[in-house]
Structure 1
Amino acid sequence: MIFDYLSTVDIYRGFIKINSYIDSVVSNYKNYQLNFRSILKKEFDLICRYMNPHGIVSLILSDNIDTPGQSNLFLSLFKFEEFHYNLRSLSLINLNQDSILLINNYFDMFTNLSSLTILNIISEVPSKLFYIYPKLNRLNISHDWLFSNKLSLMQLEYLIISNRCKSNEFETIINRCPKLISLNICLERDIRININGLTSNLSRLILNMSLYQINIIELKEILNCFPYLIYFEIECRSDLDLCDGYQWEIFISNKLFYLKKFFFKFQLISTIILNINGIEQILKSYSSYFWLKEKQWFIAIEWGQRLIYSVPKFSCQSADRNFRPPIHTTINNENIFYDNINALALWGETNYKFRYVKELWLVDDPLMINIFDVIDLNKIETLIFVSSNNNLSIDTIFNLISNMKNVNSIQFFDIPLSLIEYKKRTFIIRQIHSIELNKELKSLSFIEILNKIFPEIQRLNMKIKSIEDIRKILNSFSEYLSNVCFYCNTSNILLTREYFEKIIGHTNFTYHIDLNSITLWIGIEYSSNSTESLQRKSIGCFSWCHRRKSLLK
């Protein structure tokens, strides 16, 4: 079905209210996947207006900084138990404690749920969460929540633990999850891992042990428990014995017959002294037929950083024009390193080509740089102005952005003087939907200029001097503005919802204030017809809202 290839927003925008038959098809479609993370408020409202809870298979709720109060709003519009019919995957990110407690009342109803993600939530572990643990196939959760009970997760195959575990809990995880095939875990530095005698069917293992120093004997003891590994990735501190390619070749050939992907990043301890001959010997150990031809696994050594790592998995992803690939590597193609760069700071000319840059930090006037020869401008998604270069004209800025077909976000560390002095409304750039200002503006008149040049800004992040600036800024920007974050000291500020209602001119928004920021999530002002529609929705769940308050008392 064509709906399988479209987002929920695209389905509702494209097919609602064509005719009654298509409306019925849209309403009865049973494979909606809702991702509310960083969503625009007007898109959230659109989905909530037409959504049939029985058709939702995946739901992501997020109270992140750019969508404050989202979970409270969502749970005031819908009875959460309505989603139990078809929901397969649920993600709860940064939710407040009230929302978690409310959702907890219905965990035992989600009999079809197979995937659960709970991240960055400061709350007691919900009492009914354990009803769904034994049914889960995928779980992404914090260490504390996982080990708050001793239930076996008999159906679990994929597990990500989002914060550090104690090393001696490794064995507990393996014992509690007999069907586990994929584990992503971060281990803190404590006692030595001891899982001798265990055997697991794990086929994918990611170990982050960046605070943990381990030797080859200890790591082999761990890997002996996982003879069916197909994918293994590790970051750790190590001595030289862990960097011996010959030892790895023998061990993998004898013990890990199925291993197809092996990625590592070894941070060598500072006491190791190695000359050029020692580095060449390490490279030689990774240059056999086994490494280069049979497995096609390549490595690089950056001795200044005391790093030995897999290429391109752990190769550098950000660079400036002075970037050079590592000298000591087992791969002959230097383009691998340049193609791995996705964030580039550029000033002056360079003879190297970076083909996959998505984030461009512009320091000099692009007319002074061979920029068209260096990067593919159509790949750029974020453009960052680092300098207030006096020679950077408005024509140059416009032509540059016009050649970036996929750029939608701009950041200013310093405002180009040509923009500050811009008076005419000649240039209009509609493709930019996000702006971030990293310094306080000397004059808010520049906000009006920005809105003239970029009239469809949806996301705004900026530093302000005082709360008085908020009114001027919100009044200056266009009706498209949705996700707003003002960075300032709020310790002596008392703002009410009524204050924001007067500025915004309607009530369709949420907000949050903490010590360093004020965030707003703004929808559009409804016409009388759409307001009636929302009122009918609210009337339908009035008893639910009342009951929700009583449950939280």
Structure 2
Amino acid sequence: MTSNSHGFTLGTLPNELLYRILGILDNQTILFSFRLTCRRFYSIVQTYNHYQLDFRSVSKPNFRSICRSIHPEHIVSLTLSNENQTANQIKCFLSSFPFQQMTRLRSLTLFKIDYQDFHTILQALSTISSLSLTFSNNNFQNSETLSLLSSIISGRYLRSLTFDLSTENISQISWSNDCLLQSLTIFQSIDFTQLCTILSSALQLKKIVLQDCIVTINRDTDVSMAYTQLISLTLNDSELDMSGCELLLSVVPSLEYFRIIGGSQLCDGSFWENLIKKQLLKLTKFEFGLPGEASLTLNNSSEVQTLIASFRTAFWLEVKQWFVTCYYFKSSSSYCLYSLPICKSNVKLFPNKDKLFYSTYSYFSQDISMTDNIKEMQLNLTKLMAGDKDDQATTYPYFRNLTKLLIDIDDEWPMNSVEFLSSFINLSHIVNLTIRLNLSIKYDFDKLLHITHFFDQTSHLQSLVIDNSEISAETICSLVPHHVRHFQVTISSIQDMKLLIEQMVYLWSITFEAFSAEDLEIDLSNWLAETRPGSTLKYENSVLSIWLDRATTSTNKQ
């Protein structure tokens, strides 16, 4: 640490400021770099008590080192996952961390937990303010587990809850009037009666997200009640029609934010204008992605205007200043209507020649912020580039925040794919990539170079899936870049699996799809015990996932 002209260095800063700096560093930098700089920094890290640990993407050795280096009472936020990238991580954590000592823990997220581990963890914790969990294979049939969750919901600390219970299990939860929840997210289906039951008990509830679910409206339900505490409502993948929306929104008149994705026959600006004026007087933000079917075939953008004429009134353009854009798909005569900025996080990109669009926002094509919410995309690169050749003037919006990409290739990998994709995607921002292509085609060296050139641009790529059953282990080893940490592929040969694990030493996890032979699983498990001891395996639905530990010294020498 060299001094500057004013005599200030990082080492001269007071502890309070250094603690603030630690608050913006990632945990591996804190523990494996900052802590080892000097004795004072080591001492500061040892007393730092605001760790926020997210173990969804971590190597097994680093996971173990972090667990050894942090006192349980210094953790305030924790995320654990049994997903493919970190197989059986929750049990690994439980074996080394006593949850009873995590007295400062306030936020807990658990992915694919089984109900035994759920009991072990939640019975030891009583002061959680934020809880998010998904269960392994809907492994949530125990009545004691539902009783435990009911007691947590009615506790005096919990403020935010996210879960994926079935409609049947939600009905068995006791929603006490003591519930102090302020935010609730549900991944499964819920009916209107259940929603009203929750709102009548959770009087502090301000935000509900019904994620990937359908609200089933019971027409005989009493809707005379108004639940004025709710100010934010999100419906994703909805199948509501106009009458269903009217009924649902009639009981939540204080909404300030409303978002709906999906629905049936909702692309009517007059309907929404009248409903908002009548029932949602406090609404300040309205986001939507609505599907529709055109009654006539449309041939140009001017004709697309007719689909959104009802969204061009003074209410939309002047009073609310809510703008929309419409994409019309020629082959199906269907269309999608989006509020702006586009609120959907995942989209499928079609060739411009196959669609028409029109927007009430004049600068939609130039304003790249209109697509900032889009984080995931699926596209067929073969069809997109073929369409681009037919229309040299074609352009696509720029998706600067895209981090997850699925690419379909119909034939050979197209030449100049990097230049084409880079015109609307920042490839260096892609973290998760899935490629579906036919690698049974004979690829010579020059054609493989097109693929490796593409991978060279994905400098931040962490997770790669190659969806192809014909690809050889040798081809995989030559293609996959060394900065990839999690890899998934369809492969059935035990020898090929061993070869990939031996050669791709840079991986943190590897997942094999279409893996069905139990004896092969045992063979691979025994082999890993010798070559990569400490690795954990998970076999589920013909998918074998391995969270890899370090190779033995003898293996490294080989």
Distance 1:322 1:390, change over 3 A: farther
- Is structure 2 residue 85 aligned with structure 1 residue 61? no
Using the alignment, how far apart are the partners of 1:128 and 1:374 within structure 2?
49
Secondary structure in 1 aligned to 2:507? coil
- Is structure 2 residue 203 aligned with structure 1 residue 178? yes
TM-superposed CA distance for 1:87, in Å, is 0.7
Using the alignment, how far apart are the partners of 1:496 and 1:80 within structure 2?
32
- Offset from partner CA, 1:53-105 (integer Å, 9 cap, x none): 1111111121112211111111111111111x101111121012331232243
**Partner in structure 2 of residue 142 of structure 1:** 164
TM-superposed CA distance for 1:314, in Å, is 4.6
Using the alignment, how far apart are the partners of 1:469 and 1:316 within structure 2?
34
- Could you tell me which runs of 5 or more consecutive residues in structure 2 were left unpaired when the two chains were aligned: 1-19, 554-558
Count of residue pairs the alignment pairs up: 489
- Is structure 2 residue 398 aligned with structure 1 residue 355? yes
- The AA in structure 1 aligned to 2:246 is K
**Partner in structure 1 of residue 187 of structure 2:** 162
- Is structure 2 residue 283 aligned with structure 1 residue 249? no
Using the alignment, how far apart are the partners of 2:417 and 2:248 within structure 1?
56
Map residues 152-301 of structure 1 onto 2, 5 A cutoff: 152-185=177-210, 186-189=213-216, 191-192=218-219, 194-208=222-236, 210-212=238-240, 214-216=241-243, 218-239=244-265, 242-268=266-292, 273=295, 283-301=308-326
- The AA in structure 2 aligned to 1:140 is T
- The AA in structure 2 aligned to 1:284 is A
Distance 1:466 1:194, change over 3 A: farther
Check whether the contact 1:447–1:476 (CA below 8 A) recurs between aligned residues: no
Using the alignment, how far apart are the partners of 1:130 and 1:250 within structure 2?
39
Using the alignment, how far apart are the partners of 2:346 and 2:105 within structure 1?
39
Using the alignment, how far apart are the partners of 2:478 and 2:236 within structure 1?
47
- Is structure 2 residue 31 aligned with structure 1 residue 2? no
Map residues 465-484 of structure 1 onto 2, 5 A cutoff: 465-478=492-505, 480-484=506-510
**Partner in structure 1 of residue 339 of structure 2:** 310
- Offset from partner CA, 1:270-311 (integer Å, 9 cap, x none): 7x9468799766623211222113322223444822544434
TM-superposed CA distance for 1:141, in Å, is 1.8
Using the alignment, how far apart are the partners of 1:474 and 1:401 within structure 2?
20
Check whether the contact 1:230–1:260 (CA below 8 A) recurs between aligned residues: yes
**Residue 31 of structure 1, aligned match among 50, 54, 57:** 50
Distance 1:278 1:245, change over 3 A: farther
Secondary structure in 1 aligned to 2:263? strand
Distance 1:365 1:10, change over 3 A: same
TM-superposed CA distance for 1:503, in Å, is 6.5
TM-superposed CA distance for 1:48, in Å, is 0.7
Using the alignment, how far apart are the partners of 1:443 and 1:74 within structure 2?
35
**Residue 436 of structure 1, aligned match among 440, 449, 465:** 465
Check whether the contact 2:538–2:546 (CA below 8 A) recurs between aligned residues: yes
TM-superposed CA distance for 1:259, in Å, is 1.3
Q: TM-score, normalised on structure 2?
A: 0.77
- Is structure 2 residue 512 aligned with structure 1 residue 486? yes
Using the alignment, how far apart are the partners of 1:274 and 1:374 within structure 2?
32
Check whether the contact 1:4–1:31 (CA below 8 A) recurs between aligned residues: yes
Query: What is the root-mean-square deviation of aligned Cα atoms in Å?
Result: 3.5
**Residue 114 of structure 1, aligned match among 113, 117, 129:** 129
Check whether the contact 1:29–1:55 (CA below 8 A) recurs between aligned residues: yes
**Partner in structure 2 of residue 425 of structure 1:** none
Distance 1:334 1:401, change over 3 A: same
- Is structure 2 residue 120 aligned with structure 1 residue 102? yes
Distance 1:223 1:105, change over 3 A: closer
Check whether the contact 1:9–1:46 (CA below 8 A) recurs between aligned residues: no
TM-superposed CA distance for 1:461, in Å, is 1.2
TM-superposed CA distance for 1:245, in Å, is 2.2
**Partner in structure 2 of residue 93 of structure 1:** 111
Q: Please, which moves more after superposition, 513-522 or 303-312?
A: 303-312
Q: Please, which moves more after superposition, 124-133 or 382-391?
A: 382-391
- The AA in structure 1 aligned to 2:115 is Q
**Residue 491 of structure 2, aligned match among 443, 454, 464:** 464
TM-superposed CA distance for 1:320, in Å, is 4.2
Using the alignment, how far apart are the partners of 2:269 and 2:464 within structure 1?
48
**Partner in structure 1 of residue 459 of structure 2:** 407
- Offset from partner CA, 1:350-375 (integer Å, 9 cap, x none): 53144226437474101796565555
Secondary structure in 1 aligned to 2:105? coil
Using the alignment, how far apart are the partners of 2:69 and 2:345 within structure 1?
45
Using the alignment, how far apart are the partners of 1:280 and 1:447 within structure 2?
48
**Partner in structure 2 of residue 521 of structure 1:** 547
Check whether the contact 1:91–1:117 (CA below 8 A) recurs between aligned residues: yes
Secondary structure in 2 aligned to 1:296? coil
Check whether the contact 2:304–2:356 (CA below 8 A) recurs between aligned residues: no
**Partner in structure 2 of residue 48 of structure 1:** 67
